[in-house]
Structure 1
């Protein structure tokens, strides 16, 4: 886990660098949610992915981002920010997503953490991207742009005063993942 916070900011970013070991997902989620609650965190905004192979037909085209929050947090600020984080808005995760497996049965990230936050009473929302694990640089940039917009982190304005689109750069460690994309992005 890595923690980032700018001096004087009330927003902290925690990055989980790897999934919890199989069989420990629930314990990890519970422990981390308890830590966040004990630390006085007021709201949690989670970025995550959903395996693209489980999309429904209606989810195959269009924006591959979805927002999710427990019903109890339907009016939370994080969910409202999530929904407005892309041009035209980001839709909520469709209700039929849960038909094959309910939230308590989902063990892949980000669900154990989101479930634990809900159980701990910590308001939360998630910005999710349907992705397939491979060279998904475009998916990462789309999710990063939407997350920056949801958090109100816009690049400095240009000469017209309008906010500029963020220019993302892939970490150099990604250079050898997924078959190696064009060197220009590293």
Structure 2
């Protein structure tokens, strides 16, 4: 399979040993909003993009513009940003997968994962809150999944953080409660990415939040702080338990997240 990563400049970015953080297109677009905050806060430069016929084409202005000079830059449906200092790569996906091409897109991603030799991959996702089972209704709406390959790397880190693993649910409720399966309604390709990573021996973690469609900015901050407990993107001050919202930089493109407002002329 031909490579799907195309570097921005003439030199090819060496991402070996990097941590990759990426979203899955899912309910509320929480993963993508979280990635926006990471790129904007850390000021990550773009190092390339994913060339794929599996994503709907999108083009627009630079969503992370900070000056009049870089406001004219363009963005497309999937781009890769990276920091050599932090050994961090971030993939942003801005459009849904073409119907019938979910499997092809996963294959392209895995080809890139293996070629790049990432040390670990973190998938940010979300799931419909109204599909939760009884035991998921209490406590935090945040959950994680980790492949066996990643578990050997992190050890008991998630237990130390007191994170809750995503509960398995009955595959055939009311008929057989013995067979349990992973259930992520509204999660797009999250489940298949995780299952394929288990099979392929990829060190991958899924971090997700139960939510509903609407203003999902608070969900993005919750998921980002959840991630930051494990992978210290920015440090919390000594007198804080968590990173405050003010420490994350909101991208300029969020000003129009819900449109430009109601025209006063209507009234």
TM-score over 0.5 for the pair: yes
Match 1:7 to one of 84, 88, 98: 84
TM-score normalised to structure 2 length: 0.54
Query: How much does 1:49 deviate?
Result: 0.9
Match 1:93 to one of 157, 160, 166: 166
What secondary structure does 2:232 align onto?
Answer: coil
Q: 1:11-62 CA deviation, whole Å, 9 max, x = no partner?
A: 2122222331222112111210121112212221111111212111221231
Q: Which runs of 5+ in 2 are unaligned?
A: 1-77, 174-179, 262-267
Residue equivalent to 2:243: 165
TM-score normalised to structure 1 length: 0.74
Match 2:189 to one of 109, 121, 126: 109
What secondary structure does 1:142 align onto?
Answer: helix
| Rg (Cα) greater in structure | 2
Q: Does 1:143 align with 2:223?
A: yes
Q: Does 1:46 align with 2:123?
A: yes
Segments ≥4 residues shifted beyond 6 Å:
104-107
For this pair of structures, how many residues does the alignment match? 175
Per mean C-alpha deviation after superposition, the further-off stretch among 111-120 and 24-33 is 111-120
In the alignment, the residues of structure 1 paired with residue 126 and residue 170 of structure 2 have an alpha-carbon distance, to the nearest angstrom, of 14
Residue equivalent to 1:184: none
Which structure is higher in strand share?
2
Which structure is higher in helix share?
1
Q: Does 1:23 align with 2:23?
A: no
Per mean C-alpha deviation after superposition, the further-off stretch among 112-121 and 57-66 is 112-121
Q: Does 1:120 align with 2:197?
A: no
Query: How much does 1:175 deviate?
Result: 4.2
